Structure 1
Amino acid sequence: MLLQKKLQNERGQRMNHNDHVRLLRKGVVGPGGVWADLGSGWGAFTLALADLLGPTARIYSIDKERASLRQQEQALHEHFPTVEVAYQATDFTRHLDLPPLDGVVMANSLHYVRKKDDLLQRVRGYLRPGGRLLLVEYNADRGNFWAPYPLSYRTWEALARQNGFAHTTLLERAPSRYLNEIYSALSIRPD
């Protein structure tokens, strides 16, 4: 069952649904809205977003792996059947056909993109003025096989500012067996 699927951190503990919710919680202002999860994978953070936003939300789950989208669709239907989710099997680094968004989640996806500026400009364009970008990323500037191009929070602050985001804030941190630590951060598209 997807909701119980877990990721192990470096202390030997496993991240679960509550951990994913905790990483996003401070960046979500309330229920409802239109959000996208870019590079959603098997859906851990799509499920967390559905939990936080509730039945009045619409979520666009975007990943190029159709099998992952099918797996998360089943889990979302089982655990959050009243949340409307649209699945798009496509590469999130390309132009996407999306309505104006209240928020975007990029959880463990930006570290696959070597040149980030063009993508971040597009992401900013998807957001309504005042829209929120929630980034979950490894707190490192050197990668490995699993996360080739991570960015530390300090690097993210500069990159977010350079690409027109404001009010970047560190939300949460958690240990990780991959690259030591994971963090969540909020950046806002200015009005």
Structure 2
Amino acid sequence: MRQITTFALLTLMVCTGPACSAPPPAQSTATPTTAAVAENAPTYGSVRRSADGIGKTYQGREISAVMGWQGAAWLEREEREREERGSLLLQELALEPGMAIADVGAGTGYYARRMAPLVAPGGTIYAVDVQPQMVAMLTQLAAQPGLDTLVPVQASATDPGLAPESIDLALMVDVYHELEYPHEVLQSLVRALRPGGRLVFVEYRAEDDDVPIKPLHKMSEAQIRKEAALHPLVWERTADTLPWQHVVVFRKR
């Protein structure tokens, strides 16, 4: 019963508010800057837009629509730890004091604020988001006592805005499947990683029909590895210790 309720709540949070009542935004025809586009980058395609997608395809999948800032309450729901066991994810990350971490698609800072004390003293959490409303929430969060290691970052659709070789780990929790330009963002993240740095995808398991999340908001491990293989990344391991999500870990070559 709890799973059915959560699924209904996700449907509500993704599909209510001005962003859903208005016509879907037109897909941009602007070409990303040369610096953002990899040589021989795979071609994006198009399909008839599904209810939960944007009509743009990449590596055989339709890119999901973004869960907008109007869904912030779902990210902070009381039952999230019980359902997703984020505390186990933090153990999987094995964070240490002094590390520089990018929480990409940080949203309300649910994970950023939990990681901040784990990298202190001397560490930094770059809380990255493309939505200005989310960055405003992160800025308020960073002003709270004990969160001086948290640095909000405004990203663009193609670039998370991180300096080259500036981070030890990049984390994307239920974010990658929504990226409008996944190839360019991964390229930028790999550039931002220090040698041997880790890139961690956390995605709802598409292989499991019992995971109560809409299909376009899930990814299979095989699909994640297929897309990561287009970049200088080496698969390290996949942890399935979380109830609903994969934790797929890569290292920069």
Match of 1:184 in 2: 247
Q: Which structure has the highest strand share of the two?
A: 1
Contact 2:108 2:134 in 1 (8 A): yes
Code of the aligned partner of 2:226: A
Could you list the per-position Cα deviations for residues 113-152 of structure 1 after superposition, in whole angstroms to 9, with x for gaps in the alignment?
255333222211111110111211111179x996736421
Structure 1 residues 92 and 53: alpha-carbon distance in aligned structure 2, compared to 1, 3 A threshold: farther
Could you list the per-position Cα deviations for residues 141-172 of structure 1 after superposition, in whole angstroms to 9, with x for gaps in the alignment?
79x99673642123222322332211331134
Match of 1:129 among 164, 186, 195: 195
Match of 2:224 in 1: 156
Gaps of 5+ in 2: 1-72
Which whole-Å CA distance do the structure 1 matches of 2:231 and 2:248 have between them?
15
Say whether residues 1:140 and 2:183 are aligned partners.
no
> What TM-score, normalized by structure 1, do the two folds share?
0.74
Contact 2:113 2:150 in 1 (8 A): no
Structure 1 residues 167 and 64: alpha-carbon distance in aligned structure 2, compared to 1, 3 A threshold: closer
Code of the aligned partner of 1:164: P
Say whether residues 1:85 and 2:156 are aligned partners.
no
Quote how far apart the aligned CAs of 1:94 are. 2.6
> What TM-score, normalized by structure 2, do the two folds share?
0.58
Contact 1:25 1:52 in 2 (8 A): no
Say whether residues 1:5 and 2:51 are aligned partners.
no
Could you list the per-position Cα deviations for residues 47-95 of structure 1 after superposition, in whole angstroms to 9, with x for gaps in the alignment?
23213322321121111333323334444544633x4222123335336
Structure 1 vs Structure 2 CA RMSD: 3.2
Contact 1:102 1:132 in 2 (8 A): yes
Structure 1 residues 116 and 67: alpha-carbon distance in aligned structure 2, compared to 1, 3 A threshold: closer
Gaps of 5+ in 1: 176-180
Structure 1 residues 119 and 103: alpha-carbon distance in aligned structure 2, compared to 1, 3 A threshold: same
Quote how far apart the aligned CAs of 1:26 are. 2.1
Structure 1 residues 97 and 123: alpha-carbon distance in aligned structure 2, compared to 1, 3 A threshold: closer
Code of the aligned partner of 2:77: K
Q: Which SS does the other structure have where 2:156 is aligned?
A: coil
Q: Which SS does the other structure have where 1:26 is aligned?
A: helix
Structure 1 residues 95 and 106: alpha-carbon distance in aligned structure 2, compared to 1, 3 A threshold: closer
Structure 1 residues 14 and 74: alpha-carbon distance in aligned structure 2, compared to 1, 3 A threshold: farther
Query: Identity of aligned pairs, percent?
Result: 21
Q: Taking CA–CA contacts closer than 8 Å with sequence separation of 6 or more, which of the two structures ends up with the larger relative contact order?
A: 1
Code of the aligned partner of 1:170: T
Could you list the per-position Cα deviations for residues 12-48 of structure 1 after superposition, in whole angstroms to 9, with x for gaps in the alignment?
9444xxx323213222352222221111111112123
Contact 1:62 1:92 in 2 (8 A): no
Match of 2:161 among 90, 96, 99: 96
Say whether residues 1:167 and 2:235 are aligned partners.
yes
Structure 1 residues 111 and 7: alpha-carbon distance in aligned structure 2, compared to 1, 3 A threshold: farther
